[in-house]
């Protein structure tokens, strides 16, 4: 177990997955803030290196990420809303993506369901919210049709390039 990489070891690989798949990107310290503040809520899907983990045995030592660390092929970065305007304790999906090579395998659905369960069980979240581009057909189908999210409102020019967002939410009280 001691040689198994921790979530924090994987942050650079999570950031790479994000940059590869989405235009909304974050400083490494923002991932770290999520990991330290709400460690139960974020999850990754990884491809294991052949031969298992050998942390500490590579030339650069235990901190070397080049050789035998797993590659993140999907992640969900999630948090609890710190100052909810409606006064309701709720979770928020900051970012979700899956590498093209690993799509349509159910990874995103699984990551989302794990995060939603943790929000309900660890934080008694009333609901989970997120924003999604109106043009993002794949994500909209995942959220609305597969997971049961509902559109709460349209947020005009939410994204830096001027695109509108659907603000969506899903009630979690039945999971308490
Ligand atoms: N077209 C239509 N429906 C889709 C598609 C698609 N390309 N991809 C997923 N779905 C729907 C389907 O209903 C699917 O069920 P099915 O395969 O049984 O038909 C269901 O979602 C579950 O699909 P998963 O396999 O779990 O989804 P996947 O692992 O492929 O990831 C994701 C979906 C995250 C949207 C992926 O396409 C991706 O990374 N896209 C780029 C990044 C992105 O848009 N992220 C979301 C931004 S919003 C936010 O971060 C809060």
Query: Tell me: the pLDDT tens digits for 134-174?
Result: 999 999 999 999 999 999 999 999 999 999 999 999 999 99
Ligand 1, atom 7: nearest CA belongs to which residue?
Answer: 138
- What confidence tens digit (pLDDT) does each residue in 66-91 have? 456 789 999 999 999 999 999 999 99
pTM of the model: 0.93
Give the number of the atom of ligand 1 that is nearest the alpha carbon of residue 104: 25
- What is the value of ipTM here, to two decimals? 0.99
- Distance between CA atoms of residues 125 and 44, nearest Å: 21
Ligand 1, atom 2: nearest CA belongs to which residue?
Answer: 138
| Strand segments (E) across 2-123 | 43-47, 71-80, 90-98
Q: Report the residue among 98, 138, 155 best suited for mutation to probe ligand 1: largest number of ligand atoms under 8 A from its CB.
A: 138
C-alpha atoms less than 13 angstroms from C-alpha of 131 in its C-beta half-sphere:
12
Give the pair of three-digit tokens for residue 39: 């460690």
């Amino acid at each position: 177990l001691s040689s198994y990489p921790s979530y924090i070891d994987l942050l650079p690989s999570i950031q790479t997955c994000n940059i590869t798949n989405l235009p909304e990107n974050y400083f490494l310290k923002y991932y770290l803030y999520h990991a330290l503040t709400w460690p139960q809520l974020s999850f990754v899907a990884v491809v294991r290196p052949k031969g298992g983990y050998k942390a500490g045995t590579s030339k650069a030592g235990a901190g070397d990420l080049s050789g035998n660390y797993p590659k993140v092929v999907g992640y969900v970065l999630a948090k609890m809303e710190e100052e909810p305007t409606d006064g309701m304790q709720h979770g928020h999906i900051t970012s979700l993506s899956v590498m093209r090579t690993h799509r349509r395998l159910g990874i995103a659905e699984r990551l989302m369901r794990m995060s939603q369960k943790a929000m309900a069980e660890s934080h008694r979240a009333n609901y989970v919210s997120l924003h999604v581009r109106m043009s993002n057909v794949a994500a909209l189908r995942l959220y609305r049709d597969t997971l049961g999210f509902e559109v709460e409102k349209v947020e005009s020019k939410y994204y830096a390039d001027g695109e509108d967002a659907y603000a969506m939410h899903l009630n979690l009280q039945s999971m308490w």
